[in-house]
Structure 1
Amino acid sequence: KLDKQGYLTYERYRGMALTEAGKNVARKMKDRHQTLVSLLVLIGVPERIAVEDAEKIEHGLHEQTVRKLQELIEQLKKG
């Protein structure tokens, strides 16, 4: 399915590789996860729990919400 959507390529005997589109999606997912973990840790949630919670909520957030959370984190860090 992912190859038909243009996110990865598959070559027999060579395996799979992400396309540029696939790499972009993976990067966004990683950034989204890290943003949530950072925010939760910043407000005092232990890191182990923050990671677990981020994994539960990261897929339901709109991209614009994630950007606003990133801005909030930067403001809070500046203090």
Structure 2
Amino acid sequence: MSLNESAENYLETILILSQKLPVVRSVDIANELNFKKSSVSTAMKNLRENHYITVTEAGFIYLTDTGKEVAEMIYERHKILSSWLKQLGVSEEIALEDACKIEHVISKESFEAIKKLIAIKKG
């Protein structure tokens, strides 16, 4: 299954919340994204059916290995792109918004080139 931007955002949010909270539930995701719980429930069903997450009987949500791989890739892109945009003089608010859009559409080749450029500047 090819993931859309929305699914990638959900996986990224689950990853981020799992680093802050002992367990992640649909209500936590809904609160974080300011979405209706019904929308989140539908998305979680789709992610579960496509083996990106598991959900316990108690409603605790965990990323599968595949889900974690996607979430970590998107989160890395988000962090690096927002940092790069801020280094270019973009305000933090705009850098975060734009990084969130770019992270889903940028090619692997272009992202790796940006990563390499940033590493050269730091080194």
- Smaller-chain TM-score bracket: 0.7 to 0.9
Structure 1 residue corresponding to 2:107, chosen from 40, 46, 62: 62
Name structure 1 gaps, 5 residues minimum. Answer: none
Tell me which of 71, 79, 83 is aligned to 1:34: 79
| Residue number in structure 2 paired with 1:75 | 120
**SS at 1:17's partner residue?**
strand
Where structure 2 has 5 or more consecutive residues not aligned to the other structure, the ranges are: 1-45
CA RMSD of aligned residues (A): 1.4
Q: Deviations over 1:8-50 (max 9, x none)?
A: 1122224221111111111111001011111111111122221
Segments ≥4 residues shifted beyond 4 Å = none
Q: Identical aligned pairs, as a percentage?
A: 37
Normalising by structure 2, we get a TM-score of 0.57
Are the aligned partners of 1:9 and 1:18 in contact in 2 as well (CA < 8 Å)? yes
Question: Does the alignment pair 1:52 with 2:97?
Answer: yes
Q: Tell me the secondary structure at the aligned position of residue 60 of structure 1.
A: coil
TM-score, length of structure 1 as denominator length: 0.84
AA partner of residue 34 (structure 1): K
From 3, 24, 47, the equivalent of 2:69 is 24
Deviation larger for 11-20 or 1-10: 11-20
